[in-house]
């Protein structure tokens, strides 16, 4: 995408012409989106607009029917979650995707356990690491021995976030990261996003909260019926214009229209 609105350089992620269909429904239809280092790209749209599906293709949960993904300018083959993690893509799912019956440390390292020299689980080392990272995110968290189902919504959320940042992610996907949180914790997540941005991590942010988006995101990409309506810098459009994109699919002058933009007789 030669894009005068986008920052210069090689994009960290460049998803081109992605499509996927479930049965007869085209959940994502020829969608393209890119992301630069240290940037927050918000994905907006109604329920069922295809944001989560698009992002699950990047995280390896779904396999795309067509289209290409480039990471750092090189084509990436992502067909399962393990592949995605190999490229430094970490995801915080809306459902959190935690194994409820095991403790925080086990969840943080699920699929990437630390092992002792004997080939057994190194629970002590994993707990120590978990204490370190949780100490950064949520210093009051002490319930390391309990299954995560016993934790509060906010605590569970911080476990999910900790898991994503533990492995030096380069690309972070946050699907409704503040849905379960109160105002104070939401602010905390905002701080975290800014800190990660400063570290040069690229973030895809899926959110329904348009105020959040304007505060945190550098650019927005609006989807409707599986198609991209348009992409814009948050400084170039107003909140009302973005709402117009979400609801009507009407692309304002400050945005680059995508295939899903309402065709108005020009």
Partner 1 sequence: MTDTTSTQPADTARASELSAVARFLKATELDTRMLGMIGALLLIWIGLHVISSLRLGVNPLDFDSRTFLTPRNLWNLSVQTSAVAIMASGMVLVIVMRNIDLSVGSAEGVIGMVMGFAQVHFLVRFVGLELGNPWIWVLALLIGLALGLLIGAFQGFIIAYLEVPAFIVTLGGLLVWRGAAWWVTSGQTVAPLDATFQLMGGGPAGSIGAKWSWVVGIVACLAVIFMHYNGRVQRKRFRFPLRPVWAETLLATVTCAIILGAVWLANSYPWPVGIVNRYAAANNITVPEGGLFIAHGIAIPVLMAVAVGLIMTFVTKRTRFGRYVFAIGGNPEAANLAGINTRWITMKVFMIMGVLATIAAAISSARQNSSTNALGTLDELLVIAAAVIGGTSLAGGSGTVLGAMLGALLMQSLQSGMVLLGVDSPLQSIVVGAVLVVAVWLDTLYRKRA
Tell me which residues touch partner 1 (CB under 8 A): 59-61, 80-82, 85, 91, 93, 95-102, 106, 110-113, 115, 119-121, 124-125, 127-128, 138, 140-143, 147, 152-155, 157-158, 181-182, 184-185, 188
Using the minimum distance from each CB to partner 1, give the nearer residue, 9 or 119.
Answer: 119
At closest approach, how far in Å is the CB of 97 from partner 1? 4
At closest approach, how far in Å is the CB of 212 from partner 1? 17
At closest approach, how far in Å is the CB of 234 from partner 1? 27
CB 199 within 8 A of CB 12: no
232-258-203-22 Cα dihedral, nearest 10 degrees: 150
Using the minimum distance from each CB to partner 1, give the nearer residue, 150 or 194.
Answer: 150
Using the minimum distance from each CB to partner 1, give the nearer residue, 29 or 90.
Answer: 90
Q: Report the distance separating Cα 68 and Cα 133, nearest Å.
A: 34
Using the minimum distance from each CB to partner 1, give the nearer residue, 26 or 143.
Answer: 143
CB 202 within 8 A of CB 222: no
Q: Report the distance separating Cα 242 and Cα 67, nearest Å.
A: 26
CB 189 within 8 A of CB 203: no
Using the minimum distance from each CB to partner 1, give the nearer residue, 196 or 251.
Answer: 196
Q: Report the distance separating Cα 55 and Cα 39, nearest Å.
A: 16
At closest approach, how far in Å is the CB of 82 from partner 1? 4
At closest approach, how far in Å is the CB of 38 from partner 1? 26
Tokens matching residue 215? 């505060």
First to last CA, the chain: 23
């Amino acid at each position: 995408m030669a894009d005068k609105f986008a920052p210069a350089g090689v994009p960290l992620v460049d998803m081109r012409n992605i499509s996927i269909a479930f049965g007869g429904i085209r959940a994502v239809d020829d969608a393209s989106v890119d992301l630069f280092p240290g940037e927050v790209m918000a994905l907006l749209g109604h329920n069922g607009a295809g944001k989560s599906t698009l992002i699950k293709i990047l995280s390896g949960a779904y396999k795309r029917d067509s289209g290409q993904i480039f990471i750092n300018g090189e084509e990436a083959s992502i067909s399962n979650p393990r592949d995605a993690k190999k490229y430094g893509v970490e995801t915080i799912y809306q459902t959190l995707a935690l194994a409820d019956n095991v403790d925080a440390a086990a969840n943080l390292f699920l699929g990437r356990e630390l092992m002792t020299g004997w080939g057994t689980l190194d629970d002590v080392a994993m707990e120590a690491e978990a204490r370190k990272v949780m100490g950064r995110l949520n210093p009051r968290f002490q319930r390391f021995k309990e299954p995560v189902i016993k934790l509060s919504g906010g605590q569970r959320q911080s476990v999910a976030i900790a898991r994503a940042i533990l492995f030096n992610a380069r690309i972070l996907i946050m699907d409704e990261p503040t849905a379960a949180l109160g105002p104070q914790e939401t602010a905390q997540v905002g701080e975290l996003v800014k800190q990660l941005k400063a570290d040069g991590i690229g973030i895809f942010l899926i959110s329904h909260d348009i105020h959040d988006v304007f505060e945190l995101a550098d650019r927005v990409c609006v989807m409707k019926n599986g198609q991209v309506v348009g992409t814009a810098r948050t400084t170039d459009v107003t909140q009302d214009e973005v709402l117009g994109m979400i609801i009507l699919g009407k692309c304002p002058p400050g945005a680059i229209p995508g295939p899903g933009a309402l065709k108005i007789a020009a």
